[in-house]
Amino acid sequence: MATRPPVPDVVIGGAPRSGTTFLAQALQRHPGIFLAQPIAPEPKVCLRDHPDGDAGLLADYARFFAAAPAGTQRVEKTTNYLENDAARPRLARVLPDARFLFILREPVARAYSNWKWSTKNGLETLPFERAVALEGQRPNPLGPEREAARPFDYMLRGRYGSFARAWYEQFGRSRVHFVLFEDAVRDPEGFFARLQAWLGVAVLPWSALRIGRVNATADDMAGLEPALAARLRAAIRPEVDDFAGLTGLDLSPWALD
């Protein structure tokens, strides 16, 4: 029997501030899943070209998955893949058989949580409304070495229709799977049962995977002005409608109307 190359079978590719760490930490409790470590900082293998080309990318993956037990589903979590146009062709070249999983959050809530994260970490000094108005006009404070992080991209990361279309075009629908953060919060039992079935592992109850709250606070949305939220949701609505049409997902948990 041919040896499986030491690369991920599944890549969790985003979106930032949408529950990717929660998702990864729950899945790593499954004995049939091996998650590349550490979760933070993330592997980021295909976010940039490697000096040794694709062979270097494969060597990096081999290091991350050297300890994976035989027969496990190997998973990488790199949150910024979703919006990164340059990462998709790299992933297509070095991971010809991998599948891609994205967990998305209602775009205004995601943007506001992103702004809070950037503010908490000393990167953002502007109020949320002003920061959104200046998107795409400010230099990345992290510099070129961490360009993919883009801490000032708030609503720009909510272009879910455009992102879904690009991933479907690159990999086909059978290899790309979108789920909703709100479904995971509302019904973790059903959410993780469906997800485990998609991953192809034994379906364990939520009680076996359960973890506490990760990367979020009880006041995650505190301070978001309803009128501003409504304006931003109206502005991003074409992208959301396109995403719904492309994926067929029920977006009622986002309560956009």
pLDDT score, position 216? 54
- CATH number of the CATH domain containing 238: 3.40.50.300
Is 228 inside a domain boundary? Answer: yes
**Residues 94, 89: Cα–Cα separation, whole Å:** 9
Statement: residue 4 has pLDDT above 80: no
* Residue at 215 is within a domain: yes
- Is the Cβ–Cβ distance between 173 and 166 less than 8 Å? no
Residue at token pair 């991209």: 153
* Average pLDDT along the chain: 94
Q: Give residue 212's domain range.
A: 10-254
Whether residue 167 is contained in a domain is answered as yes
Of the CA atoms within 13 Å of residue 67, those in its CB half-sphere come to: 6
* Domain assignment of residue 106, yes or no: yes
* CA 8 – CA 38 distance, rounded (Å): 14
pLDDT (tens digit per residue) in 30-71? 999 999 999 889 999 999 999 999 999 999 999 999 999 999
Give a yes or no: residue 3 inside a domain: no
Number of folded domains that form the chain: 1
Does residue 2 sit within a domain? Answer: no
pLDDT (0 to 100) of residue 218: 47
